[in-house]
């Protein structure tokens, strides 16, 4: 499978550009779309699942323009939107059965088996008879994931999937997705949480203010941050000055001052030693300085 996004621009009513000339190529495997809130991720996802039209540019799936093959594309895609809601009063299993029917699974027997299989894999089998809207927040999220996966989609798109999940559920969810990542499937994971990407995605892109600022492997991004991450012991006075100049990513009290890590160029007025970067460091390195005081 191949998704080609070409010169994609989305201008909302009022003239706000949520996406600006985005070019992106996505192949089989797990693809992570990372960016802060407001970057344009949901807008891009909604265009990909044909719920919204781009203002300019095109999206081709295996060479076919999604605007011309909406029906076919919708059958191929499993989508978990950020604000997923249950719109019907159904039991959990009935809800999944309904989703399977929408996804084109016409055999009742096949659907029943698949529903049970999905309930098992998201850990909801014992809650199959509970009304979907009576499940806890985390369970609803898992049922949302199950409905996205049920009809064997070849493209899976999940928007901010780990929102509202506790740490254990997060890990379970990441594992569930990476199990799927082996076959002829594209999985697109949109998130503002760096940890969602690092453990699972072989390809990624960084989106900021509607523009793509990186596309490649997570490892390559980390590599590019080498020489830009530092550890230093600073006095309170140095700290006050430094925090105006560079993103400080960790602060631990030490002696009368602070042991800190920061990203960027080392100012001459302090001593610092280079630190081996990780994906979070690399993310900060690539983002605007206005993210400097983000709490990672």
- Contacts with ligand ADP, residue ranges (CB under 6 A): 12, 16, 18, 35, 37-43
Q: How far is the CB of 163 from ligand ADP (least distance, A)?
A: 11
Q: Is 38 or 137 the residue whose CB approaches ligand ADP more closely? A: 38
Of 42 and 50, CB closest to ligand ADP: 42
> Nearer to ligand ADP by C-beta: 39 or 135?
39
In whole angstroms, how close is the CB of 287 to ligand ADP at the nearest point?
13
Instruction: State the DSSP code for 122.
Output: T
In the block, residue with structure tokens 């895609």: 77
Of the pair 16, 269, the CB lying nearest ligand ADP is at 16
Strands 248-254 and 257-263: antiparallel
Shortest distance in whole angstroms from residue 268 CB to ligand ADP: 37
Q: What is the DSSP letter of 98?
A: H
| C-alpha distance from residue 271 to each of 119, 218, 225, 266 (Å) | 55, 29, 19, 8
Residue 131 main-chain phi, psi, to 5 deg:
-60, 135
Q: How far is the CB of 69 from ligand ADP (least distance, A)?
A: 23
> In the complex, what is the shortest distance from the CB of residue 13 to ligand ADP, in angstroms, rounded to a whole number?
6
Task: Kindly give, in sequence order, each residue whose CB lies less than 8 Å from that of residue 102, ignoring residues fewer than 6 positions away.
Answer: 151
Of the pair 40, 103, the CB lying nearest ligand ADP is at 40
- Note the helical H segments in 162-226: 167-180, 194-198, 218-224
Place of tokens 């064997």: 152
């Amino acid at each position: 499978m191949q998704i080609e996004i070409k010169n994609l621009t989305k201008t909302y009513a009022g003239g706000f550009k949520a996406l600006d000339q985005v070019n992106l190529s996505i192949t089989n495997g797990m693809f992570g779309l990372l960016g802060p809130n407001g970057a344009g991720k949901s807008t891009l996802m909604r265009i990909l699942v044909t719920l919204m039209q781009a203002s300019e540019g095109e999206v081709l799936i295996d060479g076919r323009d999604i605007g011309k093959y909406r029906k076919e594309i919708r059958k191929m895609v499993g989508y978990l939107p950020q604000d997923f809601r249950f719109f019907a009063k159904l039991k959990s299993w009935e809800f999944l059965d309904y989703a399977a029917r929408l996804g084109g699974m016409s055999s009742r027997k096949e659907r029943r088996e698949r529903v049970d299989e999905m309930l098992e894999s998201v850990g909801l089998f014992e809650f199959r008879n509970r009304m979907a809207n009576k499940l806890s927040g985390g369970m609803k999220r898992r049922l949302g994931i199950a409905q996205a996966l049920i009809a064997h989609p070849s493209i899976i798109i999940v928007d901010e999937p780990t929102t509202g999940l506790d740490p254990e559920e997060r890990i379970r969810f990441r594992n569930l997705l990476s199990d799927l990542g082996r076959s002829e499937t594209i999985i697109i994971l949109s998130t503002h949480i760096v940890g969602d990407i690092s453990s699972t995605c072989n390809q990624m892109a960084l989106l900021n203010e509607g523009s793509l600022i990186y596309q490649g492997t997570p490892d390559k991004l980390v590599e590019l941050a080498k020489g830009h991450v530092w550890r230093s012991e600073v006095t309170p006075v140095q700290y006050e000055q430094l925090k105006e100049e560079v993103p400080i990513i960790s602060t631990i009290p030490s002696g009368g001052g602070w042991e800190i890590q920061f990203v960027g160029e080392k100012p001459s007025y302090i001593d610092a030693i280079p630190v081996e970067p990780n994906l979070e460091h690399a993310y900060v390195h690539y983002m605007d300085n206005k993210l400097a005081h983000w709490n990672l």
